[in-house]
Structure 1
């Protein structure tokens, strides 16, 4: 890469890093709300009043619905279902708490045996 281009690229990377840092500092101020997250499901027309629901993260087609109102309603339902506390998340939280309590008991047993 040409030295002037490399120098410009490093300068731009520094500016991008500073912009990310300034944005993070701005949203840490009291009273400032961060912007809402982008939707998880995208509704795209596929022709003849048929709409495809696409998962934004993976790009996979989730469902197809006839009519825009039906498609947007189903997309909202899928997003609400994704935000619910699932069994998998409950199991993960439970195992983390069990690990923490076990570590705490091990520390107490270690210091109790040395007294």
Structure 2
């Protein structure tokens, strides 16, 4: 690659990083509401009143539905299901709860042995 192109790519990547950082700092200010996240699932037409529901992050086709209303309602159902409390979130919650409980017991045991 030509050195000037490589330098330009490096500069642009630095600017993109700084832009993301400035945006994050902006939304950390009080009374600033972050914009909603982009939907996880998108509906694309295939043809002949057939629509695919595609996961944006992977580009994988989840289902194919006949009719736009059916496809959009199915994508909304998938969004709602993805936002529910799942096993991974429960594991993180249980782990943090156990850690806090253990620290509390350790503090009580430490102060109880010194009194």
The two structures have a TM-score, normalised by structure 2, of 0.78
Residue ranges of structure 1 left out of the alignment (5+ in a row)? none
| Residues 1:94 and 2:87 aligned together | no
- Between 56-65 and 3-12, report the one with greater CA deviation: 3-12
| Residues 1:31 and 2:31 aligned together | yes
How many residues align? The count is: 115
Q: Which residue of 1 aligns with 2:84?
A: 84
Q: Offset at 1:113?
A: 4.7
Output the aligned Cα RMSD. 2.4
Q: What are the within-5 Å matches in structure 2 for residues 14-93 of structure 1?
A: 14-93=14-93
| CA deviations over 1:38-97 (Å, ceiling 9, x no partner) | 111111111211111111122222111110011001101110111111244223311221
Q: Distance in 1 between matches of 2:72 and 2:3?
A: 51
Residue ranges of structure 2 left out of the alignment (5+ in a row)? none
Pair 1:22–1:88, CA change in 2 (3 A): closer
